[in-house]
């Protein structure tokens, strides 16, 4: 969203719904961001029954008609499944009635952006059940500028501590560690044993506020800060997929084989067309053509239902390799295409004697990170401002044969529900 577009959008009153926990807040914002009215209530499991009356009360107190709203925003989660879905559905209905855009931000990003942390790994925590926590991973610099570091995870404390250590290793020596949010309140004693001082000062231990959500939505920071891209559809953040849905999906596609074969020159026009369709920083056809002739190139395509569904380009030599490009058409995602291409690569790497593989991936590409993690890739480095189109950082992820063995591993809480999402690629080789 351009500054002019954002200025025009927020020059009107807006309404924010925070309903991801049992504590619900509805805020009506003035054009300058000030609160015109706030309704808050602990609704327990009564989101469906109580949210609409709270919206009605907030608008009445603010003397704002629903049709006068210029924007509506909701918490995208994670949190209570019912609360998030009811909040988003209510916000969508209001947006349709007012002919206004529907906006959103995740609870994790809003908690991180409002925390005031500096020079630290920032880990917002939201309860995810009796033992599990949803955890976000952000980095705060010396000026307090907060940016996304890695995909969120859901795990119990032992696995969470491993994930925190892995993420913390990416930051400069001496960086602090800060846990915020209601999950930090629930597990404060254990978190303090793990890292003394990491829950101080306490921040939003009672849960995210609608005011913080409003600030995040109005910031316009986009994917680099863990927020939706301008114009992106507001959708719930599912850190873990629904098991029943995954079983049905796998059963539906079990009898539809995926064929992996060499990427040949006649495939170039089709691959280039897919590349332009799914990447904002697409490689040109000429680059693919040049790489096909390289001795270390491992170039493969995947076919599903007789049509090209995805492709992979990597460079593998004796000892090491690098994944340059992995893409799958939207219609074939979540059908195992990316997994088949990755397994094919790992088999080749083993045969070639490659002990490790690396790749770059956008910090906001949660599905790709979960896929790679499931196959043994781990965080290995951070390249700041790597993607020129959004200003996002890139994560370097590394796979080691001795650790992973080439077989799928437990994802540690991440969801590979959209495993066909494309990977990152080296900017030095991608002038587009």
> What number is the average pLDDT over the span 316-341?
93
Clarify whether residues 90 and 127 are in a common domain: no
Query: What angle is formed at CA 106 by the lines to CA 30 and CA 50, rounded to 5 degrees?
Result: 65
Task: Please say if the pLDDT value at position 290 is more than 70.
Answer: yes
Clarify whether residues 393 and 315 are in a common domain: yes
pLDDT score, position 363: 97
Buried b or exposed e, range 11-20, using 16+ CB within 10 angstroms: ebbbbbbbbb
List the beta bridge partners of residue 155. Answer: 133
Domain count, the chain: 3
pLDDT score, position 402: 84
Q: Domain containing 50: what range?
A: 3-105+212-223
pLDDT score, position 242: 54
Buried b or exposed e, range 285-318, using 16+ CB within 10 angstroms: eebbeebbeeeebbbbbbbbeeebbbbbbbbbee
How much of the chain exceeds pLDDT 90, in percent? 81
Clarify whether residues 391 and 412 are in a common domain: yes
> Rounded to an integer, what distance in angstroms lies between the CA atom of residue 187 and that of residue 204?
14
Clarify whether residues 99 and 141 are in a common domain: no
169 CB neighbour count, 10 Å cutoff: 14
Residues known to be catalytic: 360, 372
Clarify whether residues 353 and 420 are in a common domain: yes
pLDDT in tens, 139-172: 999 999 999 999 999 999 999 999 999 999 999 9
List the beta bridge partners of residue 260. Answer: 302
pLDDT confidence of 415, banded at 50, 70, 90?
A: very low
Buried b or exposed e, range 388-416, using 16+ CB within 10 angstroms: eebebbbbbbbbebeebebebeebbbbbb
Task: Give domain status of residue 14, yes or no.
Answer: yes
Torsion-angle region of 412 (φ positive above 0: left; ψ -120 to 50: alpha; else: beta): left
Q: How distant, in Å, are the alpha carbons of 66, 265, 334, 358 from that of 340?
A: 49, 21, 11, 18
Sheet arrangement for strand 146-155? 146-155, 133-140, 120-127, 176-180
Clarify whether residues 352 and 405 are in a common domain: yes
Clarify whether residues 366 and 418 are in a common domain: yes
Clarify whether residues 178 and 327 are in a common domain: no
> Rounded to an integer, what distance in angstroms lies between the CA atom of residue 70 and that of residue 228?
18
User: What CATH number should be reported for the domain holding residue 123?
Assistant: 3.30.420.200
> Rounded to an integer, what distance in angstroms lies between the CA atom of residue 58 and that of residue 377?
48
Task: Give domain status of residue 423, yes or no.
Answer: yes
Task: Give domain status of residue 236, yes or no.
Answer: no
> What number is the average pLDDT over the span 220-227?
95
Task: Give domain status of residue 234, yes or no.
Answer: no
Clarify whether residues 68 and 93 are in a common domain: yes
Task: Please say if the pLDDT value at position 372 is more than 90.
Answer: yes
> Rounded to an integer, what distance in angstroms lies between the CA atom of residue 2 and that of residue 220?
8
Clarify whether residues 287 and 403 are in a common domain: yes
Q: Which residue has the tokens 């309404």?
A: 15
pLDDT confidence of 252, banded at 50, 70, 90?
A: low
Torsion of Cα atoms, 115 then 119 then 120 then 123, to 10°: 30
Residue 150 DSSP symbol = E
- Rg of the chain taking only CA atoms, in angstroms: 23
Contacts of 231 (CB under 8 A, 6+ apart): 1
pLDDT confidence of 403, banded at 50, 70, 90?
A: confident
Torsion of Cα atoms, 412 then 416 then 419 then 424, to 10°: -50
Burial class (CB in 10 A: 0-12, 13-18, 19+), 241: middle
> Rounded to an integer, what distance in angstroms lies between the CA atom of residue 345 and that of residue 342?
5
Clarify whether residues 247 and 126 are in a common domain: no
> What number is the average pLDDT over the span 74-94?
96
Task: Give domain status of residue 199, yes or no.
Answer: no
User: What CATH number should be reported for the domain holding residue 351?
Assistant: 3.40.630.30
pLDDT score, position 237: 92
**β-strand 23-29 against 14-18: which pairing, if any?**
antiparallel
Higher pLDDT, 257 or 271: 271
Query: What angle is formed at CA 210 by the lines to CA 206 and CA 212, rounded to 5 degrees?
Result: 85
pLDDT in tens, 181-190: 999 999 999 9
pLDDT score, position 378: 97
pLDDT in tens, 334-371: 889 999 999 999 999 999 999 999 999 999 999 999 99
21 CB neighbour count, 10 Å cutoff: 22
Task: Give domain status of residue 134, yes or no.
Answer: yes
| Nearest residue to 159 via CA among 124, 194, 189, 185 | 194
pLDDT score, position 256: 74
Clarify whether residues 85 and 152 are in a common domain: no
Task: Give domain status of residue 233, yes or no.
Answer: no
210 CB neighbour count, 10 Å cutoff: 27
Task: Please say if the pLDDT value at position 422 is more than 70.
Answer: no
Task: Give domain status of residue 111, yes or no.
Answer: no
User: What CATH number should be reported for the domain holding residue 48?
Assistant: 3.30.420.40
Residue 306 in tokens: 């007789």
> What number is the average pLDDT over the span 215-244?
88
> Rounded to an integer, what distance in angstroms lies between the CA atom of residue 357 and that of residue 87?
42
């Amino acid at each position: 969203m351009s500054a002019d577009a954002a200025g025009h959008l927020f020059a009107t009153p807006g309404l924010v719904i925070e309903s991801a926990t049992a504590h619900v807040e509805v805020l009506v914002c003035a054009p300058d961001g000030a609160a015109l009215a706030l309704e808050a209530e602990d609704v327990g499991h009564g989101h469906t029954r109580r949210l609409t009356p709270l919206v009605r009360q907030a608008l009445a107190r603010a003397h704002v008609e629903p049709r006068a709203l210029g924007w509506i925003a909701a918490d995208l989660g994670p949190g209570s499944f019912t609360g998030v879905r009811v909040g988003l559905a209510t916000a969508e209905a209001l947006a349709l009635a007012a002919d206004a855009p529907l906006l959103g931000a995740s609870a994790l990003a809003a908690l991180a952006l409002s925390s005031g942390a500096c020079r630290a790994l920032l880990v917002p925590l939201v309860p995810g059940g009796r033992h599990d926590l949803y955890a976000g991973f952000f980095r705060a610099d010396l000026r307090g500028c907060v940016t996304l570091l890695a995909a969120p995870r859901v795990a119990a404390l032992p696995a969470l501590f491993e994930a925190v250590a892995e993420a913390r290793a990416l930051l400069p020596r001496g960086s602090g560690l800060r846990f915020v949010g209601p999950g930090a309140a629930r597990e404060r004693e254990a978190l303090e044993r793990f890292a003394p001082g990491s829950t101080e000062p306490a921040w939003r231990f009672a849960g995210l506020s609608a005011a913080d959500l409003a600030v995040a939505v109005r910031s316009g920071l986009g994917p680099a800060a863990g927020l939706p891209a301008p114009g992106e559809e507001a959708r719930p953040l599912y850190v873990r997929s629904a098991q029943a849905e995954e079983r049905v999906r796998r059963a539906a596609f079990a009898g539809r084989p995926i064929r992996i074969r060499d990427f040949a020159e006649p495939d170039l026009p089709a691959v280039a067309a897919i590349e332009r369709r799914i990447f904002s920083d697409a490689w040109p056809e000429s680059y693919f053509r040049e790489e096909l002739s390289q001795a270390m190139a491992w170039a493969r395509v995947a076919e599903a239902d007789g049509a090209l569904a995805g492709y992979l380009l990597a460079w593998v030599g004796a000892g090491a390799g690098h994944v340059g490009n992995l893409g799958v058409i939207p219609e074939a995602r979540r059908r195992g295409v990316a997994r088949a291409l990755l397994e094919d690569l790992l088999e080749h790497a083993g045969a070639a004697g490659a002990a490790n593989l690396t790749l770059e991936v956008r910090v906001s590409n949660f599905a790709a990170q979960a896929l790679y993690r499931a196959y043994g890739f781990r965080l290995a480095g951070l390249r700041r401002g790597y993607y020129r189109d959004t200003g996002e950082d890139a994560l370097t992820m590394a796979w080691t044969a001795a650790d992973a063995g080439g077989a799928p591993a437990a994802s540690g809480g991440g969801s590979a529900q959209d495993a066909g999402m494309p990977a990152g690629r080296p900017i030095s080789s991608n002038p587009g």
